[in-house]
């Protein structure tokens, strides 16, 4: 019986790794916090209006 129990270990490890990677992928895709959507890129319109070259 111990031999049969030991043969399940590699399968359980692999299954655990697959489930963990799927969980990580779902967490990454469903993450509601997306800072790149909230930070301004470059200088804004007020800066350009103030430093406009005539």
Residue 13 has pLDDT above 60, yes or no: yes
Residue 12: the pLDDT is 93
Number of domains observed in the structure of the chain: 1
43-54 tens-digit pLDDT: 888 888 999 886
Global pTM? 0.49
Residues above pLDDT 90, as percent of the chain:
35
| Domain hosting residue 11, numbered range | 2-50
Residue 7 has pLDDT above 70, yes or no: yes
Rounded CA separation 6/1 (Å): 9
Mean pLDDT of 19-24: 95
């Amino acid at each position: 019986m111990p031999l049969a129990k030991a043969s399940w270990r590699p399968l359980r490890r692999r299954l655990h790794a697959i489930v963990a990677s799927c969980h990580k992928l779902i967490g990454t895709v469903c993450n509601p916090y997306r800072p790149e959507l909230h930070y301004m890129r470059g200088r804004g319109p007020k800066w350009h209006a103030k430093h406009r070259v005539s």
